[in-house]
Copies of this chain bind each other. A is one copy, B any other.
Amino acid sequence: MNVAQSQEASLLAPALRKFQLLVRLQPEEVEALEHMLSRYARHLGQHDDLVSEGSPLQFVRIILSGWAYRYKMLEDGRRQILAFLLPGDFCDPNYFCLGHFDHSIGSITALSYAMVPATVYQQLLHDHPRIARVATVDTLLDLSIQREWTLNLGQRDAYERIAHLLCELYIRLHAIGLAENGKCAFPLTQSDLAEATGLSTVHVNRTLQALRAAGLITLTAKTLTIANLQALESTALFTSDYLHWDVGTSLTRNSSGPADGGGEGMIEAR
């Protein structure tokens, strides 16, 4: 393996790790994915749009490195961040089933992502049913996270809300090998946090100070340190159920259970 190849491998590592979390893949499936991802890899600077609302849906984009967010705006300019996208996250799995994009996706940091034409993508899924499963499970996971955000915005107060978001991000980063020992890179500004939690930036600032004063977090120089994750989780009323990280393992059990005959295509376009 030469230098270029190993650099490429390390670029893809977090994304592949995410996929393996959802479905345990065979070496040849990993290889097919690696091939596709590196073939269609692209780069983007920070604070730029990958996809804008209303775009037609002819590509499937997968984050390889860096952070991005989904967001939606109201006519009067108010903006809500709907989700954060980390390496291995699909921007738009299956969305080509719908007519148009109903929100936008922007980069937070400089970003690498794969932009795969829908036809190529569909062929890959057709050839590798277990990769298709990755895409499906990822969609369901997205849905589950979105529900948790609904709960977060509807029921938790500012303090719990921000704590919850920090827990989610840390745990998702940890799962793909981008956080360790309570420490992770954290490129969000307080104003990003505000738009994600539906709070004002001033209030986010004060709430972060409260979290710091409680000894729960350190957050400086784009690095988040969580002193005691369990303590943070309990103040946030956080449980990681909704991230469904038993899927990769439980699936083996599950799919051998019903013993369903033959491939059950879930999305067959016609």
Contacts and interface: CB of A to CB of B under 8 A. Distances in A.
Interface of A: 58, 70, 72, 74-76, 78-80, 82, 94-100, 102-103, 118-119, 122-123, 125-126, 129-130, 132-133, 135-137, 139-144, 146-151, 153-156, 195-198, 237, 241-242, 244, 246-247, 250-251, 254-255, 258, 260-270
Question: Which one of A144, A146, A196, A266 has the greatest number of beta carbons of chain B within 10 Å?
Answer: A266
A164 to B, nearest CB: 10
Contacts of A137: 97-98
Nearest to A117: B258
A168 to B, nearest CB: 14
B197 A132 contact: no
A74 B155 contact: yes
A-B residue pairs, 9 tightest by C-beta: A129-B268, A154-B198, A266-B267, A265-B265, A122-B264, A99-B250, A263-B268, A153-B153, A146-B146
B144 A143 contact: no
Given A119-B260, A122-B258, 6 more contacts: A58-B258, A98-B137, A119-B258, A126-B262, A146-B150, A154-B196
A251 to B, nearest CB: 7
Contacts of A141: 98
